């Protein structure tokens, strides 16, 4: 059993080796990388990403990232390709083949078949003198010094290099396409991530009551309105529904602390006059930013200058926007 110190040293050593591999990949970015990006951008087909073993797993991740950032892609396992899956490749598709050595039996069988079909073949490969590197039209260089595995066997550093270069390729394509938050939202409608990208302030405000009161209202009326709507606040508005202020539970406590008699107090006497607000068509995640920055629990929602509704911190928590 390793000591605590040696366990920590092992982890640090692995991370340092893999970090060095990524930096080495960065130094190998050349004109081939630019040509790959340009070919994909101007291509009429999809990107087919293939590999075997651990490289196949990285290929699947690349495909997932491509698809979610605007580059249509399909994963094809190199072993299955030579048993029928080659049929998925269409005339205009571009093929990216991942391999650490570039010399595995499956890659040697697959590569000539890809060349025969006439598709652009991109080799993401760690050995530049390999069969794949020699056959590929363009090369994405993932060469590295050694695996993090102490036996230099288990793919670790090599797959980290592939993963990082795949991300670099996806982000370059994203930026070249001016792929923005709205585009991203179309492909990520589910879960908390999706909600951060499409849920608007108005969506949350509409699910709540719309507590409001006029500035001349009595403290009793204020308390009734706050209690009735269970949002911990009431908004003070004029006859045109323009916001004049807000009264929160905290304002009520401060009023009681600072006044011996409240009989003659009105809503306008105790309201906060500079309430924080957000426009109704803003993303809900931006509402959370405002709430956090100002250490508040309620946020007004406006349509231009008119009172639209109110959001409570609990609304955002319930939607998983944290």
pTM given for the model: 0.69
pLDDT at 197 over 80: no
Q: pLDDT tens-digit profile of 77-122?
A: 999 998 999 999 999 999 999 999 999 999 999 999 998 889 999 9
Distance between CA atoms of residues 39 and 137, nearest Å: 11
Which listed CATH number (3.40.50.2300, 3.40.50.10140, 1.10.10.10, 3.10.580.10) goes with 197-319?
A: 3.10.580.10
Count H helices, E strands: the chain? Answer: 15, 11
Q: What is the pLDDT of residues 33-64, one digit of tens each?
A: 999 999 999 999 999 999 999 999 999 999 99
DSSP labels for 239-285? TT-BEEEEEEHHHHHHHHHH-S--TT-BHHHH-BSS--EEETTSBHH
The pLDDT value given to residue 188: 65
Radius of gyration over every alpha carbon of the chain, rounded to an integer in angstroms: 30
Kindly list the domain boundaries of the chain, sorted by start residue: 4-179, 197-319
Do the first three CATH levels of 4-179 and 197-319 match, i.e. the same topology? no
pLDDT band at 4 (very low <50, low <70, confident <90, very high): confident
- Name the average pLDDT for the chain: 91
151 is known to lie in a ligand binding site: no
Kindly report the length of the chain.
Answer: 322
Which fold does the domain 4-179 belong to in CATH? Rossmann fold (3.40.50)
Q: What is the mean pLDDT of residues 287-292?
A: 93
């Amino acid at each position: 059993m390793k000591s605590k110190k040696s366990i920590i040293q092992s982890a640090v050593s692995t991370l340092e080796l893999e970090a060095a591999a990524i930096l080495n990949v960065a130094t190998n970015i050349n004109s081939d990388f630019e040509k790959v990006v340009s070919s994909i951008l101007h291509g009429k087909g999809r990107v087919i990403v293939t590999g075997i073993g651990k490289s196949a797993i990285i290929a699947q991740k690349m495909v997932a990232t491509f698809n979610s950032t605007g580059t249509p892609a399909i994963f094809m396992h190199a072993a299955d390709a030579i048993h029928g899956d080659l049929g998925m490749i269409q005339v205009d598709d571009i093929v990216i083949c991942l391999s650490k050595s570039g010399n595995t039996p499956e890659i040697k069988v697959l590569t000539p078949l890809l060349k025969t079909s006439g598709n652009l073949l991109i080799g993401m490969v760690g050995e530049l003198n390999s069969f794949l590197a020699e056959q590929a039209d363009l090369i994405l260089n993932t060469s590295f010094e050694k695996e993090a595995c102490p036996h230099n066997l288990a793919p670790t550093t090599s797959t980290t290099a592939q993963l990082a270069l795949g991300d670099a390729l996806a982000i370059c394509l994203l930026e070249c396409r001016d792929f923005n938050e709205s585009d991203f939202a179309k492909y990520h409608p589910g879960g908390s991530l999706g909600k951060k990208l499409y849920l608007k302030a108005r969506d949350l405000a509409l699910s709540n009551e719309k507590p409001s009161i006029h500035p001349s209202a009595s403290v009793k009326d204020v308390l009734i309105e706050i209690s009735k709507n269970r949002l911990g606040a009431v908004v003070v508005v004029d006859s045109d529904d323009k916001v004049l202020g807000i009264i929160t539970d905290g304002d009520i406590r401060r009023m009681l602390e600072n006044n011996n008699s409240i009989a003659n107090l009105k809503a306008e006497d105790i309201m906060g006059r500079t309430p924080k607000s957000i426009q109704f068509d803003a993303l809900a995640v931006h509402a959370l930013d405002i709430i956090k920055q100002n250490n508040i629990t309620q946020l007004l929602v406006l349509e231009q200058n008119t009172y639209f509704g109110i959001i409570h911190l609990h609304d955002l928590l319930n939607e998983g926007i944290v």
